[in-house]
């Protein structure tokens, strides 16, 4: 991606790739979109892809792959044990991160399962900048709890702090003193902190955290799933690294960690996952669990073709032109929305544009899931599928009461190199219409509520007939237009 100045003086993002394979998408009429949303129980996870125009649910496993990734898939060495494909992947990971041992797994949460089973003892506490849904679920499942020690700016939707994902050093020291080192399972640093709007962590902050933890003897676990975005922000926002290569920045980060894991659905634009460490004892403990839950040690549940694509994808992660498209598009979408008065998370992060559903729908109480309602309304208004990232995505407290989210967000993920600038502008336009008509959006209530990760397949119903009213207003305002 490049930012290019046009004759008019306007600076716009210019794609530094060409598209040589395309997929047709459908934009259904608004009445059909209303029906599909009703059938999906007002949960965008339950929509069928054939009914979605722009799928901005996630970037997970849906980033565009390069021609070199596809080519590499053809040379996969398909064997149960000892495949060359595995050794090619291992070599790239060792070169990129500089850690000794690699364990393959079928995706990011599988790594979390292995790490939690190894490090979480009943009653222990994991400290982290912020939880991710599956991370929290695995820690709780193993009898632990977690505490978030993100800096205060990380929890405020609008800010100018360049690294809102940073851990608060005072809170870290206080937690260690209060809990005692022996009761802390690990300190987890999540790159490109997902649930607070794809916000990065600085190297300076990671250095400080690592030093404290190493002195106290607490393992530092790095979730590198969103490393690509985080690298872009280190390069562009942290002065010390402006002229440092992405490989050297990655190496520097890795030298501060005891365990690194990643979802290859995100990092490396493929599918799968992996764990890295130079700690031989931890490695031996985690290795025992791989054949039990994932597969043999040289594939860990991944297909060899995906492993080859990952090997190339990881190398491409160290190319700024490849990894900067998402953050530059996120910034462009955020700026469009800000210009229209629509509240979004600032500064723009990676992963996607995060709309502040709490402010957008300030007439809907958190108990009626404003983020879920806005995500449903956006699909009806545009065919765009976003993801609820608010109270619905939280687990209930043990006593059954709602745990209200710190932030009510709708995430519009920008998978890498999948969408064009005009599609980004279309999404901003339909959101602007929705903002003008936001008083029409009402709340949601659960019809079927799963006890674990309820946001994935829970079904909801609208409070009142607001979806019908919204569709009627759309038809009135847009006439025959889709
Ligand atoms: C920060 C983070 N960690 C872990 C995961 C889990 O990865 P996976 O979906 O591959 O299980 C995700 C997935 O979105 C993520 O964003």
pTM for this predicted structure: 0.94
Q: How confident is the model at residue 3 (pLDDT cuts 50, 70, 90)?
A: confident
Please report the pLDDT score of residue 1 as a whole number: 80
List pLDDT tens digits, range 87-118. 999 999 999 999 999 999 999 999 999 999 99
Q: Whose CA is nearest to atom 14 of ligand 1?
A: 60
Residue nearest to ligand 1 atom 7, measured at CA: 108
- Contact between residue 272 and residue 301 where contact means Cβ atoms under 8 Å apart: yes
Which one from 266, 271, 368, 416 is the annotated catalytic residue?
A: 266
> In this prediction, what percent of the chain has a pLDDT beyond 70?
100
Distance in angstroms (rounded) separating the CA atoms of residues 345 and 354: 6
Active-site choice (5, 48, 80, 401): 80
Do you know the residue count of the chain? 482
Domains and CATH numbers, the chain: 2-59+323-478 (3.90.1150.10), 67-318 (3.40.640.10)
Token pair belonging to 298:
């040289």
pLDDT in tens, 374-402: 999 999 999 999 999 999 999 899 899 99
Task: Supply φ then ψ for residue 137, to 5 degrees.
Answer: -60, -40
Confidence of residue 32 (pLDDT cuts 50, 70, 90): very high
Residue identifier of the C-alpha nearest atom 2 of ligand 1: 225
Residues having CB closer than 6 A to ligand 1 are: 60, 107-109, 132, 134, 190, 194, 223, 225-226, 263, 265, 273
Instruction: Choose, from 55, 223, 229, 258, the residue flagged as catalytic.
Output: 223
DSSP label at residue 112: H
Active site residue 97: no
DSSP 66: P
pLDDT of residue 11: 87
Buried residues in 182-203 as b, exposed as e (16+ CB within 10 A) = eebbbbbbbbbbbbbbbbbbbb
Nearest-CA neighbor of 231 among 303, 302, 314? 314
Is 53 a known active-site residue? no
Alpha carbon distance 310, 189 (integer Å): 23
The residue to mutate among 111, 133, 193, 194, having the most atoms of ligand 1 within 8 angstroms of its beta carbon, is 194
pLDDT at 154 over 90: yes
Place of tokens 């955290």: 209
Instruction: Single out the catalytic residue among 188, 305, 368, 389.
Output: 389
pLDDT at position 122 is 98
Do residues 271 and 225 lie in contact, with contact meaning Cβ atoms separated by under 8 Å?
Answer: no
pLDDT score at 482: 86
Atom number of ligand 1 nearest to Cα 265: 10
Distance CA 111, CA 309 (A): 19
Strands (E), 112-219: 125-128, 145-148, 184-190
Average pLDDT score over residue span 473-480:
95
pLDDT at 350 over 90: yes
pLDDT of residue 96: 98
Higher local confidence (pLDDT), 129 or 451: 129
Q: Is 132 a catalytic residue?
A: yes
SS3 content of the chain, % helix, strand, coil (to 5): 45, 15, 40
Q: How far is the CA of 443 from the centre of ligand 1 (A)?
A: 28
Contact 143, 98 (CB under 8 A): no
Residue 133 falls in the annotated catalytic set: yes
């Amino acid at each position: 991606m490049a930012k290019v100045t046009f004759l008019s003086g306007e600076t716009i993002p210019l794609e530094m790739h060409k598209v040589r394979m395309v997929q047709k998408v459908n934009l259904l009429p608004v009445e059909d979109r209303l029906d599909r949303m009703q059938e999906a129980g007002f949960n965008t996870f339950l929509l069928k892809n054939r009914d979605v125009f722009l799928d901005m649910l996630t970037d997970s496993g849906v980033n565009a792959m390069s021609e070199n990734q596809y080519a590499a898939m053809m040379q996969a060495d398909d064997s149960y044990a000892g495949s060359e494909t595995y050794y090619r992947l291992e070599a790239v990971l060792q070169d990129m991160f500089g850690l000794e041992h690699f364990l393959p797994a079928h995706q990011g949460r599988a790594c979390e399962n292995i790490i939690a089973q190894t490090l979480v003892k009943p009653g222990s506490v994991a400290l982290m900048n912020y939880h991710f849904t599956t991370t929290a679920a695995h820690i709780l499942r193993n009898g632990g709890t977690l505490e978030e020690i993100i800096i205060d700016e990380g929890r405020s939707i609008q800010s100018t702090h360049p690294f809102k994902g940073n851990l608060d050093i005072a809170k870290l020291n206080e937690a260690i003193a209060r809990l005692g080192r022996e009761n802390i399972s690990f300190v987890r640093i999540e790159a490109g902190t997902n649930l607070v709007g794809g916000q990065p962590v600085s190297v300076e902050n990671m250095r400080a955290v690592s030093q404290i933890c190493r002195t106290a003897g607490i393992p530092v676990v790095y979730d590198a799933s969103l490393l690509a975005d985080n690298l872009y922000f280190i390069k562009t926002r942290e002065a010390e690294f402006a002229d440092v290569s992405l490989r050297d920045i990655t190496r520097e980060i890795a030298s501060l960690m005891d365990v690194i894991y990643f979802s290859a659905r995100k990092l490396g634009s493929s599918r799968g996952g992996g764990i890295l460490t130079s700690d031989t004892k931890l490695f031996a403990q985690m290795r025992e669990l791989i054949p039990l839950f994932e597969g043999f040690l040289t594939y860990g549940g991944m297909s060899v073709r995906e492993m080859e694509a990952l090997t190339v994808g990881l190398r491409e992660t160290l190319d700024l032109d490849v990894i900067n498209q998402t953050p530059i598009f996120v910034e462009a979408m955020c700026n469009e929305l800000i210009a229209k008065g629509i509240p979004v998370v600032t500064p723009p992060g990676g992963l996607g544009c995060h709309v502040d559903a709490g402010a957008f729908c300030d007439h809907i109480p958190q108990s009626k899931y404003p983020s879920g309602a806005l995500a449903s309304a956006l699909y009806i208004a545009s065919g765009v599928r976003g993801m609820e990232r608010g109270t619905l995505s939280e687990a209930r407290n043990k006593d059954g009461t709602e745990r209200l989210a710190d932030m009510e967000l709708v995430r519009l993920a920008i998978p890498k190199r999948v969408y064009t600038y005009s599609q980004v502008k279309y999404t901003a336009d339909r959101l602007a219409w929705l903002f003008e008509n936001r008083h029409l959006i009402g709340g949601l209530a659960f019809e079927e509520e799963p006890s674990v990760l309820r946001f994935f397949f829970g079904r909801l119903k609208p409070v009142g007939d607001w979806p019908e009213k919204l569709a009627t207003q759309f038809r009135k305002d847009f006439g025959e237009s889709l």
